[in-house]
Chain A
């Protein structure tokens, strides 16, 4: 299959032919005899046509570097492209500085330069380049090519020819692809010195987006050079993300009291050709800033301390008033956390339980006539006198027993034959209201003179008639409130002894002398322990007869009231 002959700059140079044998090969035209065919060192074995040199002057740079293919003794030739931007005007490309050096002896006169340029697509040979109008026979070393290089996506080739007196001394060419090869002017930036670093703020908004877009900016990173004395340190900041306006870079690890100068530039195409910005310098003095930082640190510490103190005091106050952390000291019975409590609930401790029979006794009111004569019978029974205060007066018969606190002696003293009224023992039949007592009355012979026989006392203030005729083993038990009792001693009965006991408590038993019927005025108060003693002026008092007083600790005073009654006042000192 034949291949259509493509367009070629030099059809005479390469002709594409097809071959049935496979593949194609190009046929090179043999060079003319008069044509100079300098052989490039870069492409050995390849023939290339170059414009015939008009002079014997050669450029020092090899063709690979864009320099002249002809060497120039003691001289250099290079084309450099640069852009200068302004805020209002578009960038103006121009080729800069051809800076040929001339030796003093060989070239004394100034050179005139000629610039040619053109798009690559239109060039097949260097002669096809067109002369730039504003750059003909110029002595300056630069030329504005804005009106020539209109398409940034094309590659342009330029050529500079320098000559003197019609002798070509300089001949340099270079190719430029504007979109990727255009150099970038350094961006604007500011430097600020801080306590321990220097901040470099690069302003990217000064760059025309037509020259460098945001995406490209990331790949043509700015370099920052730090100059301190004779040392130069270069930084290449890593730009991440989209940058719209400014980019900030921090230079730390600096020496105090040192002057630092910073320069910013973009990554050049040719590392040897760096377009640096002017240096901006600052003196790094961290001491002044450190003082303020120290004071700020101290203030911060003090503030933190105050806040902590306020917080702790607030917590303590709230705890004191019980708003928080309220202690709940519940009794153990309310402690439900123990599983054993739920599984095996503890039984409350058993309380002592005593069985008490309440016997209610209905008694008839009687006047007891106590006859202490041994032969007396029931008729000698004294009818109890009931005073207005509610006390029951009992006339006792029989021999009085000495003051004894034991029940055994009381038993001895008791007259089994006398129908002394006594308080019945609980038989289990009667029902009397249970008076609240100090405790269960279980045993006999307790201390204090109490006769505890499991007997509930009858309320003396009650108007119930009590059956006092019951006997219990021949004992007579009375509770006399001696604070309100006047004891009268019988004159006839000399054998009888009247022993006046002053019980310490109203419950203490007292064995009193039997009295006459008319003169019996014993008042026996069988009352509760808690009942307070009182004096009843209406009570008749007894007249004691040689009453032995073995109550040595009691003081007694007798007042003869006449008519056989004495008032005996007993001061209950010991027993109270």
Chain B
């Protein structure tokens, strides 16, 4: 009886692994599609960064964001989920000074939430069985980075230039997400 239970558990693990691996291809496709959609929506938000050169700041972009190939699949999923969550938090702040379309912002939020819903089950499962890896450090750095962004917006009183700078940062974030998604293998 015990051996039969063990056998069932082994089978279940194998199938779950297979299911997860199969989901990566679908997840990759969904993630790429989501990034492209977000980039298109951001393009619809008018801004002139050349006019806000002086208000730029160094937000201490994590070095991990410059090298996407170093992440493993599980770490990449955690990083992606964290970034989506942080961008979602930023876009929920006051952008009234920018004159941006609320519809575009709402579409952005919807797309971000959708992608997070796709990632959440896998992210929770990874968090439960994951040991300390380099992904954790990257997440800490990301948290610090987005904290600086939030603080910058707050200090700039959510003016248009601040949001212009935010837009530039989000464009760069989505570029990194796009490259990171490409490393989700089957």
Contact = CB atoms under 8 A, between A and B. Distances in A.
A215 B172 CA distance: 18
B48 interface: yes
A562 to B, nearest CB: 127
B56 interface: yes
Contacts of B42: 180
B100 interface: no
Contacts of A14: 54-55, 155-156
Interface string A157-201: 101000000000000011101011100000000000000000000
A48 B51 contact: yes
Given A43-B161, A180-B39, A215 B51 contact: no
B58 interface: yes
A42 B100 CA distance: 12
A120 B57 contact: no
B53 interface: yes
A interface bracket (residues with beta carbon within 8 Å of B): 35 or more
Contacts of A13: 54-55
Interface stretch (B9-17, B29-37, B124-132): B29-37
A220 B159 CA distance: 31
Nearest to B37: A219
B176 to A, nearest CB: 7
B161 A46 contact: yes
B159 A43 contact: yes
Contact of B49 (A10, A125, A175, A179): A175
Most chain B beta-carbon neighbours within 10 Å: one of A16, A46, A173, A215 = A215
B171 A177 contact: yes
Contacts of B7: none
Contacts of B29: 215
B171 A155 contact: yes
A153 B151 CA distance: 24
Contacts of A175: 48-50
Contacts of A16: 155
Contacts of A121: 56
Nearest to B99: A42
A207 to B, nearest CB: 15
Given A120-B168, A157-B49, A181-B43, A9 B33 contact: no
Interface string A20-46: 000111100000000000001011001
B152 interface: yes
Contacts of B39: 179-180
A126 B58 contact: no
B4 to A, nearest CB: 43
B24 to A, nearest CB: 15
A136 interface: no
Contacts of A23: 154
A153 B175 contact: yes
A7 B57 contact: yes
B36 A219 contact: yes
A25 B155 contact: yes
B49 A120 contact: yes
Nearest to B97: A43
Nearest to B49: A175
B53 A26 contact: no
